[in-house]
Structure 1
Amino acid sequence: MQSSIKPSTTRLELLLFRLNTKQNFGINVLKVKEIIPRPALTQIPHSSPTVVGVAELRGKTVPIIDLALAIGRSGIRAETNAEQKVIIAEFSRSTQGFLVSGVDRIVVRDWNEVLPPPSGAASSFITGVIRMENQLVQLVDVEQVMHQVSDSDVAPQDQLDPALIAKLKDRNILVVDDSTVARNQTCRILDQLGIHHITARDGKEAMALIDTLTRDCDKATDCVPIVISDIEMPEMDGYQLTREIRANPRYQAMYILLHTSLDGKVNAEHARDAGADETLTKFEPDLLTEEVVKGLKQMAP
């Protein structure tokens, strides 16, 4: 399945699907490789309770996750087998299948239509909602789902030179991501490196923070030397954030690292066109550490 949406726009292409009820949920089409009927599944002993089995897909073994169960709902009911589909998704250098009750359609909306999850929302796996045909479509954070299934933390293998840390004591790295799990994983790496950081949920919030944090600095990079940003975000995506930073003479020297779960050379090309210094696929702690150190050495020679 190929997306028709070009990067760096404010448009969002969503695949709508159901989890036992008529309520629609959504996932970004950029993460979807294909949709298949529920295949024959092989059970794997001692796997996560949310993994209903594995399937053979063109010679590759793919874990199949009950998406309803993974986000804290009742598992997909067996009586809906005839309509069940598996959404094959690729991100963060891995392929997995999400079992759903049924697939509805693909819709196109603007990122500015995405609203924060309702206050007190029961599920931490929802990154936002969008109003559509008298109902709120909930956008599922599949990165959070995969983190829950794998139950793994990341840790960098290297530590920073103490002299470099001393130079950075009054500086913050800005981490921008609408996914809570992605922000937390990146921040854990920075914590273990001894680097101060501050976070934002999207590009618009990030620009406001940059304005605030650098207001009293002689040079903006003395306060915010590096920006680590996701690409897909509401309000302002990572490409546009990069362009905004590069267009401002005061900010344009910042080192910008776009950190995305979307695989592929196309994203790297668009990132370079926007002005990013580097693009990395989530979650590769050693590569992220390497790139952060590279950027910091440039910003604090």
Structure 2
Amino acid sequence: MAGLMDSVNQRTQLVGQNRLELLLFRLGSKQLYGINVFKVKEVLQCPVLNELPKCNPVVRGVAHIRGGTISVMDMSQATGNAPLDALESCFIIITEYNRSTQGFLVSTVERIVNMNWEDIHPPPRGAGKENYLTAVTEVEGNLVEIIDVEKILAEVSPPDHVVSDGVIDEEVTAQAQKRNVLIVDDSAIARKQIKRVIESMGLQTILKCDGRQALDYLHEMIEEGKEPCQELALVISDIEMPEMDGYTFTAEVRTHPQLKDLHIVLHTSLSGVFNEAMVKKVGADDFVAKFHPDDLAKRINDRLKTVNEGSLSESE
């Protein structure tokens, strides 16, 4: 186990090639689950946990690790199953999401597998709206379920969806209300969060679940005689998505003569300098880490100012 994460830093080169690596784990049953290695900081045998009074029952306690304290959530319980027992034999997957570090308690950690996003698919329609999956895939004949971690985090510690007073320039947004914003994200929770911010600014939204759906939608607009660069104020896209990731989606858009000028903001729970470098590499216009309503609203506001100035110049 000590060597399991040794080469994670070298694995980041897969990002941007529509590839990823999954860390496979189990939650007390034969079912395999997966999490993107790029979000994993460390895997540890479960240390002694200190209970917290009056906390969400999903939080099994806090652990002191590397000089810091992190909360540890029972991923089995968080997804509606029985809590894990025999904690001394369990593992903690320490992750970084949305600028914060947290641990997820799992029963066993298996191995890392190299995957192509094209082999990772949205959950089957029969799974229902309340499931905790963002995607599914198959590894050596076994179904692997990829959990919507953002949904778990939103339920344990609901984020603030309200944009602070003074952040939104109402005059700017009023001039751009005929424009739409395309939201691309495989997490239903993330789509709702982004949609609330955008609609609070008086704009309309179009929602797609992955890069492939979004690209198909843009091509359909062109076939119908529409001009995406005129109708869309901007595109806000996640990076990690089944079928086609945000980096590949952006690169595809930039190679199309009628789409290449679309303003694309990559909005993701992946963080770090690496992502900023990838933004430049694939030609995205901006990068915003999830999920901070004020930060997102400021970027949208700045973009709308540019859109309005461009429209004014054309009218003159």
Q: TM-score of the superposition, structure 2-length normalised?
A: 0.89
**Percent of aligned pairs with the same amino acid:** 41
Which residue of the partner structure matches residue 10 of structure 1? Answer: 18
| Among 39, 42, 62, the residue aligned to 2:70 | 62
Match of 1:147 among 145, 154, 157: 154
In structure 1, C-alpha distance between the alignment counterparts of 2:141 and 2:260, rounded to whole Å: 43
SS of equivalent residue, structure 2 residue 49: coil
Number of residue-to-residue matches in the alignment: 298
Superposed CA offset, 1:11-54 (max 9, x none):
22001111011211111111100000111111111111100000
Query: RMSD of the alignment, in Å?
Result: 1.7
Aligned twin of 1:101: 107
1:60-139 mapped onto 2 (5 Å cutoff)? 60-78=68-86, 81-121=87-127, 124-139=131-146
Aligned to 1:267: 275
Gaps of 5+ in 2: 310-316
User: Which residue is equivalent to 2:197?
Assistant: 189
State the distance in 1 between where 2:288 and 2:34 align: 25
Determine the C-alpha separation between the residues in 2 that align with 1:201 and 1:220. Answer: 18
Tell me the CA shift for residue 277 of structure 1.
Answer: 1.2
Partner Cα distance (2:55, 2:19) in 1: 37
Q: Deviations over 1:140-171 (max 9, x none)?
A: 11111111110233211146444433432322
* 1:193-232 superposed matches below 5 A: 193-213=201-221, 215-217=224-226, 219-232=227-240
> Separation in 2 of the partners of 1:162 and 1:213?
29
Cα deviation for residue 240 of structure 1 reads 1.5
Contact 1:203–1:233 (Cα < 8 Å) also in 2: yes
Deviation of 1:118 after TM superposition, in Å, equals 2.6
- SS in structure 1 at match of 2:125: coil
Q: Is the 8 A contact 2:92 2:103 kept in 1?
A: yes
Residues 116-145 of structure 1 deviation map (CA, whole Å, 9 limit, x = unaligned): 223332652111111223321111111111
Deviates more, 1:63-72 or 1:167-176: 167-176
CA positional deviation for 1:5 = 4.3
1:165 aligned to which of 168, 173, 191: 173
Structure-1 separation of matches of 2:303 and 2:261: 11
What's the TM-score once normalised by structure 1's chain length? 0.94
Change beyond 3 A, Cα 1:118–1:207:
closer
Alpha-carbon deviation of 1:88? Answer: 0.3
Give the match for residue 30 of structure 2: 22
Equivalent AA in structure 2 for residue 254 of structure 1: L
Q: Cα deviation per residue 1:222-264 (whole Å; 9 max; x = unaligned)?
A: 2012000011112221111111222222222221110010110
Tell me which residue corresponds to 1:235: 243
Aligned-partner Cα distance in 1 for 2:216–2:141: 33
Cα distance in 2 between the residues matched to 1:152 and 1:188: 12
Q: Which amino acid aligns with 2:153?
A: M
Cα separation, 2, equivalents of 1:52 and 1:274: 40
- 2:236 touches 2:266 (CA, 8 Å); kept in 1? yes
Q: Which has the higher helix share?
A: 2
Supply the distance in 1 between the matched residues of 2:106 and 2:282 (Cα, whole angstroms): 36
Contact 1:160–1:193 (CA<8 Å) still a contact in 2? yes
Cα deviation for residue 289 of structure 1 reads: 0.5
Matched to 2:135, the amino acid is G
Using the alignment, how far apart are the partners of 2:89 and 2:26 within structure 1?
Answer: 10
List per-residue Cα deviations over 1:62-102 (Å, max 9, x = no partner): 00000000011111123xx3430000001210000000011
